[in-house]
Amino acid sequence: MAEHLVRDTKLDDFALAFTFAWVNSDSRMLITVSTRCGLRKRFLASILKPNLRYYSISPNPVPLAYTAVIPCNGNKTDGAVVILHGLFGSKRNFESLCKAFGRDLNLPIYALDLRNHGSSPHVTPMNYESMAADVLHFIQLMKLKDVSLLGHSMGGKVAMTLALESPSPLELSNLIISDIAPTQASISPSFLRYLMAMSKIEDPAMNIKTREAAGKILAAEEKDLSVRQFLLTNLMLPDPIDTSRTTVKFQIPIPIIMKSISALGSFPLRPDGHQWLRRTLVVKGARSSYIDDSHIPLFKAFFPNAEFATLDTGHWVHSERPNEFKKLMVDFILQGKRVPE
């Protein structure tokens, strides 16, 4: 089984060791894999196969799947930009922007799948401290330097937690937060409705086999087609080869996320004793309620050097105004970064 995974991932340039558990209907196997991971200059790859279920059995950081855009000069580490998606998202949400950032910055760009999302392991606990530890582990494992860390929504809270709590923050130079505040609050009830509908969709008793049928169930909870389409990016259709899966299933572990929803709505830190003194950019969507004027003092308490920008968008700032968002990011990063030759 381990040899099969290594062969399929086609990874071949640097040593990467990790431990995970593969779980199927009748057995549990603990596998330690040491492999070599190759990064090409326009390379997109995941370190885990997306059609298998992975569950961590260790409280240690887990290996995160990622995509990478490496500049033609071969630089894989210096001045790296690391991008973190929001709840229900994945690294795929930033594929186009990763390529654009790579062209404009001529720096290595990495978009990660956070735990319990995309192709990364399904694992508990799911809280901001654990997710921040995963990202720090990735940065250190890849030996990234002078990092600009960009996080949207849930990913923004992960990024803030890492910057504020990391025992070794020297790898980070710039922090970019997209439409989320470091507040301790309840998550929007809409997310709970989405999860309940998604749980219903993947219930084998419902016998849902198509994206259209799943979309009809979601439509009862969410009228916005773009939101439904976003949620359905996580849907896996029945596998014609795997006869044990004859109905749809979501790639994200719905039960884990449902149990973690309270922690995801909150924020683990308070300003007293926690500050990030380096460069910070906070980007707000003008038509989004995730950041408002009342949050500015809280941002300033955590991030005294924070700058603020607003784009005419809702919550999905990077997808609604990609060119304007890209310009903000590129200008901010280049203003404070020594770009490697």
Quick one: which H or E segment has residue 81?
strand 81-84
Which one, of 17, 13, 43, 310, lies nearest residue 177 by Cα? 310
> Strand, helix or coil at 271?
coil
- Beta-carbon contacts of 27 under 8 Å, excluding residues fewer than 6 positions away, are none
Catalytic residue positions?
A: 153, 315
Which one, of 265, 214, 303, lies nearest residue 87 by Cα? 265
Angstrom distances, CA of residue 222 to CA of 215, 228, 259:
10, 7, 21
Q: Which two tokens stand for residue 167?
A: 């025992």
Alpha helices in 54-186 (DSSP H): 95-105, 128-141, 154-165
Angstrom distances, CA of residue 134 to CA of 5, 112, 143, 267:
21, 10, 14, 17
How far apart, in whole angstroms, are the C-alpha atoms of residue 324 and residue 331?
A: 11
